[in-house]
Structure 1
């Protein structure tokens, strides 16, 4: 049996966050980042971030690599067949089937609790990090605060910046923890705010660790269930649970690829 423990509700965002939105001045280059951090620190305090999180914010560096990646997201431009070829769909499916067979009891427990079939979780795991083989080389706190400072999508990333700082407070990450270019972390690349909100301690060690496979996969299943996943309902395009897959990633080709690969893994 695999124990499951949802991250404490106390870690959820505080109600005071929304009132502080836009207090810090955004920018489009590194020049104003330090001034922005000073202003954002006040918002972070109002949102309940503690000293460890504030220290991580102070140490954050402007992530020029993150900005470059944000300006050049090719996945939105690929056809479905091209996307699946580039992302190695056949390999993900082949390895995914082996993983499902090897860890059948774990995936059965996940589906029993959250209603999400193994294929969906495995396809996401394979797509995001090649089953944990590469979880990113960018500092999570620096990446997510840079995106929050950047004027393009400040409002979207602000809760995730606060989330990252609260994860530092909780000891789940540090200011040097590595993730993807947009600040996603762990085996399935959770944005920090989502990690904070949907994290699950699946291995029963008393902490939520997104770099632990069991915790990350259970958290992924919990995210999907909380976003409206209905057990027993189909997840291909046009079916009910496909709308939930859309909550994981905004790229249409990604959504379709996950559904197709998941069906092949489960088939």
Structure 2
């Protein structure tokens, strides 16, 4: 085998590096070319024909990029954030939901150790209890964020997750979610949906647009991330750190802990 030397060797390394991974971009100009490269990455990760077709059909999500550049609410004070997000309404409705379905929430707490208040607060905060689960294509949004250079590595496993969910029939290329590709009642990122999703209603598939599956999956996520049954979840208590695993924004974490305690009474 002929040995590569000098500039020839360097050129070969550059070519190999280019072939090894798709190149990100900050405008739509290179998106289609990137998708073709990323398809090879996806296939190596185990994505099959339906997922690859969904990737091919994905469109550059301009609204997703705009939203990602302008997340103002997480810069609010805690009081302002809770006001804007309707904390008092979430608590009032959350108490009613718990009272209507006490056995359901008690069963989740027995299995996963997560109190009803936390799950209900997340459900209310994320989608107003399923009232609005998003109007953006999950696949297009998450694929666009993976292409975008700002946080490519963070979103890549979620893009692969979304394509695998398509393969499994849990979602399709047309499924709608939030602008960052979150899906279902509690807005799971696709990679987390793939890893922590639970078929709680026993119909043979994980469907995060089904409330039972979504809340059980949320409880499973928190438990797998280290939730300690019977321990507190306010700031300074053991389980507050687990709420941080759900959302990285401090005001969000504080709000969930406060609302959860108010719902649990």
Structure 2 counterparts to residues 7-86 of structure 1, below 5 A = 23-86=21-84
Please identify the structure whose Cα radius of gyration is greater: 2
Task: Please state how far the C-alpha of 1:21 moved relative to its aligned partner.
Answer: 11
Deviations 1:163-217 (A, max 9, x none): 0000000000000100000000000000000000000011111110000000000
Question: What do you get for the CA RMSD once the two structures are aligned?
Answer: 1.3
Task: Report how far residue 20 of structure 1 moved.
Answer: 11
Distance in 1 between residues matched to 2:57 and 2:103, nearest whole Å? 42
Residue 75 of structure 1 deviates from its aligned partner by 2.3
Runs of 4+ aligned residues of structure 1 deviating over 6 Å after TM superposition are: 19-22
Gaps of 5+ in 2: 1-16
Choose between structure 1 and 2: higher helix proportion: 2
- Structure 1 segments unaligned to the other structure (5+ residues): 1-18
Report how far residue 22 of structure 1 moved.
6.9
* Cα deviation, residue 43, structure 1: 0.4
Give TM-score scaled by structure 1 length: 0.92
Q: Which residue of 2 aligns with 1:210?
A: 208
- 1:122 corresponds in structure 2 to 120
Structure 1 pair 21/150, CA: closer, same or farther in 2 (3 Å)? farther
Ranked by relative contact order (alpha carbons within 8 Å, sequence separation 6 or more), the top structure is 1
TM-score norm. by structure 2 comes to: 0.93
Identify if the C-alpha distance between structure 1 residues 167 and 20 changes in structure 2 by more than 3 Å, giving closer, same or farther: farther
- Measured at CA, do residues 22 and 160 of structure 1 come closer, stay the same or move farther in structure 2, by a change above 3 Å? farther
Q: Number of paired residues? A: 249
Contact 1:137 1:179 in 2 (8 A): yes
1:74 positional shift: 1.1
